[in-house]
Each structure stands twice: as structure tokens, then as C-alpha cells.
């Protein structure tokens, strides 16, 4: 976790007892008004051992180059907005530490497989459209009046989906997914994990709608089972497992003639 004592100006007076070192951070810059294509820019950043990569990037913006653009909000691996390629791997920059890349040069790029809007900011419209399409909320099986009380659920029923409910929509798994990189029509790991989160919820009644998405050509059957998505997920969601469970559900639907069966290849 980043140390709350830091401001965005790098090491401060409270760090007087800590060794300050310097790391070279190379950032892939893209300013559409001046760059025909992305270019690397190098910065020298002083840091202490408890500074995250996000704090390093904030230091660049505040002290060296105010034109650098990137997203962040919570600084504690909750909001999912600070994802970047860090030395070629998709990571949350607030959960990744500069000390782990020293000595050496750290390379920071925008998340792979998404269009670059500016510097480290990528376009997420495609992901948001996909997310909205799966109805990422509970559609009650039976509408109830307030007077009828809560929708009750046993711990065992909750266990069916709980792991998948930890997704923070950070899209690291999309940057890790070779299939999404080749064909952006593929629904992708994070959305399929959330789809399973709601389909596996005993209170939900929209499984038939979502299974149409699971069984469609751009649904689970386009996954080539690389499973790097689960390796990079910062919240332990295991989207590859969700995709596999959905493949089983889709195959069952096929044999039972239910919605969500695997579509024949075109
Ligand atoms: S499944 Fe994991 S990596 Fe993918 S969007 Fe959700 S939290 Fe991020
Ligand atoms: S700033 Fe929110 S997850 Fe990193």
C-alpha cells in the first residue's frame, strides 16, 4: 500500500530517516496534437522504499512535466483506474513499488489492447459497452415488496459467486488476454467473470438472457485458455475459472436445448 505520508512531490521531511535513491522511469508519451505516434520519454525520479509506481508518475507530473496524463483515484487498489503496463506487465500502479525495479530502468506504458487516448490514458468505451450488455446487477427472480423482507441466501449459495464479485473493473485482464488483443469483439475475461457472478447468484433471474451472450460467437468459446488473465488479476478473481464454468454451462445448455448453447461455427 502506498504510504499516506507522501504527498505527490516524492520523498518529504518525514522520510528524512529513509534512504532516497533515484530511478529512471521511461514513459510512453502520446499527445495527439503533437505526436504522430507514441514516443518514449525518460525521467529521473527520487524515491524511498515505500513509494509506488503511481507516486513516481505523480512526481513526474507535479515536479518534472505537468503535461503527463494518467488515471488514478483511490491509491489503494480499490477503484481500478490506475492500471498500466509496468515493464511489460499489466499492473495497478498504486500496488506496485519502485523499489522492485531498482536498480534499472522502469518502463511504463498504457494498458495493452486498448486505444491510446493520451499518454497513459486509454479508451474504455468498448469495455464499458460490454459491461453494460451483461446486466451487471441482480435482476430479481421474483419482485418482492419491502414488507416481504430481504432476499435470503445461505452461506453456501453466497460461496457460488463471492470470489467473482471482487472484480474492480481494472481491465488488467484485457491487457493480458491475447484473444482480446487479436479480436476486440471477444467479450473478454473480466466481463465474463462478472457475468458469472450474477448468473451464479441464487437471487438472480436473468440467467437466460446472459447465457445468450455466453454462447454467442464472441462469448466464452472464443477463449483459448491461456489463463494469463487470472495471473495478472490484482483481486484474485480468477476470470479463467469463470470462463471455464461458463463453458460447462454453455455445453449443458446445448445438450438440453436451453438458451446459451454454443453457436455453430460460421
Ligand atoms: S477480473 Fe480482475 S483483472 Fe479483470 S477487470 Fe476484474 S479485477 Fe481487473
Ligand atoms: S488508484 Fe485506485 S486502484 Fe490504483
Residue 175 has pLDDT above 50, yes or no: yes
Confidence at residue 24, expressed as pLDDT on a 0 to 100 scale: 98
Pocket of ligand 1 (CB under 6 A): 167-173, 189-190, 193, 233, 235, 237, 239
- Angle between helix axes 189-199 and 207-215 (nearest 10 degrees) is 150
Sorting pLDDT into bands at 50, 70 and 90, what band is 263? Answer: low
Residue bearing the CA closest to ligand 2, atom 1: 75
- Higher-confidence residue: 42 or 249? 42
Q: Pick the atom of ligand 2 nearest to 80's CA.
A: 3
Confidence at residue 219, expressed as pLDDT on a 0 to 100 scale: 93
Q: What is the pLDDT of residues 123-142, one digit of tens each?
A: 999 999 999 999 999 999 88
The number of the ligand nearest the C-alpha atom of 70 reads 2
How many CA atoms, within 13 angstroms, populate the side-chain half-sphere of residue 61?
17
- The C-alpha cell of 228 is what? 494469463
Task: Outline where DSSP puts E strands in 142-207.
Answer: none
200 lines ligand 2 (CB under 6 A): no
- The C-alpha cell of 266 is what? 460460421
Short-list 79, 76, 96, CA closest to 87: 96
Confidence at residue 252, expressed as pLDDT on a 0 to 100 scale: 87
How far apart, in whole angstroms, are the C-alpha atoms of residue 63 and residue 196?
Answer: 44
- The C-alpha cell of 253 is what? 445448455
How many CB atoms are located within 10 Å of the residue 170 CB? 26
Confidence at residue 3, expressed as pLDDT on a 0 to 100 scale: 39
Question: Which one of 3.40.960.10, 1.10.10.10, 3.40.50.1110, 3.10.20.30 gives the CATH number of domain 21-122?
Answer: 3.10.20.30
Average pLDDT on 187-207 reads 96
What is the CATH number assigned to the segment(s) 125-256? 1.10.1060.10
Domain with CATH 1.10.1060.10 in the chain: 125-256
Domain with CATH 3.10.20.30 in the chain: 21-122
Confidence at residue 18, expressed as pLDDT on a 0 to 100 scale: 75
Q: What is the pLDDT of residues 2-51, one digit of tens each?
A: 333 445 566 665 666 678 899 999 999 999 999 999 999 999 999 999 99
How many angstroms separate the alpha carbon of residue 13 from the centre of ligand 1?
Answer: 37
Confidence at residue 5, expressed as pLDDT on a 0 to 100 scale: 42
How far apart, in whole angstroms, are the C-alpha atoms of residue 61 and residue 69?
Answer: 8
Confidence at residue 1, expressed as pLDDT on a 0 to 100 scale: 33
Residue 266 has pLDDT above 70, yes or no: no
Percent of the chain with pLDDT over 90: 81
Confidence at residue 141, expressed as pLDDT on a 0 to 100 scale: 87
Average pLDDT on 183-195 reads 97
Confidence at residue 9, expressed as pLDDT on a 0 to 100 scale: 60
Q: Which of these ranges, 18-22, 164-168, 205-209, has the smallest mean pLDDT?
A: 18-22
Q: What is the pTM of this model?
A: 0.90
- The C-alpha cell of 53 is what? 509506481
Amino acid at each position: 500500500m502506498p504510504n499516506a505520508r507522501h504527498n505527490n512531490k516524492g520523498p518529504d521531511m518525514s522520510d528524512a530517516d529513509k534512504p532516497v535513491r533515484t530511478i529512471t522511469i521511461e514513459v510512453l508519451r502520446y499527445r495527439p496534437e503533437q505526436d504522430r505516434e507514441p514516443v518514449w520519454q525518460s525521467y529521473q525520479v527520487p524515491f524511498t522504499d515505500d513509494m509506488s509506481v503511481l507516486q513516481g508518475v505523480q512526481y513526474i507530473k507535479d515536479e518534472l512535466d505537468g503535461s503527463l496524463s494518467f488515471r488514478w483515484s483511490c491509491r489503494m487498489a480499490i477503484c481500478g483506474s490506475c492500471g498500466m503496463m509496468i515493464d511489460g506487465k499489466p499492473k495497478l500502479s498504486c500496488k506496485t513499488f519502485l523499489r522492485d525495479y531498482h536498480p534499472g530502468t522502469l518502463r511504463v506504458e498504457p494498458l495493452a489492447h486498448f486505444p491510446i487516448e493520451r499518454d497513459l490514458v486509454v479508451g474504455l468505451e468498448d469495455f464499458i459497452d460490454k459491461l453494460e450488455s451483461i446486466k451487471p446487477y441482480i435482476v430479481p427472480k421474483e419482485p418482492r415488496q419491502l414488507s416481504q423482507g430481504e432476499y435470503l441466501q445461505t452461506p453456501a449459495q453466497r460461496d457460488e459467486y463471492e470470489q467473482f464479485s471482487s472484480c474492480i473493473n481494472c481491465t488488467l485482464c484485457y491487457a493480458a488476454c491475447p484473444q482480446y488483443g487479436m479480436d476486440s469483439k471477444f467479450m473478454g475475461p473480466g466481463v465474463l467473470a462478472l457475468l458469472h457472478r450474477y448468473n451464479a447468484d441464487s437471487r438472480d433471474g436473468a440467467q437466460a438472457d446472459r447465457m445468450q451472450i455466453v454462447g454467442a460467437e464472441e462469448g466464452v468459446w472464443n477463449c483459448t485458455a491461456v489463463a494469463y488473465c487470472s495471473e495478472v488479476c490484482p483481486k484474485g478473481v480468477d476470470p479463467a475459472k469463470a470462463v471455464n464454468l461458463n463453458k460447462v454451462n454453455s455445453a449443458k445448455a446445448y445438450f438440453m436445448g436451453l438458451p446459451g448453447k454454443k453457436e455453430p461455427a460460421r
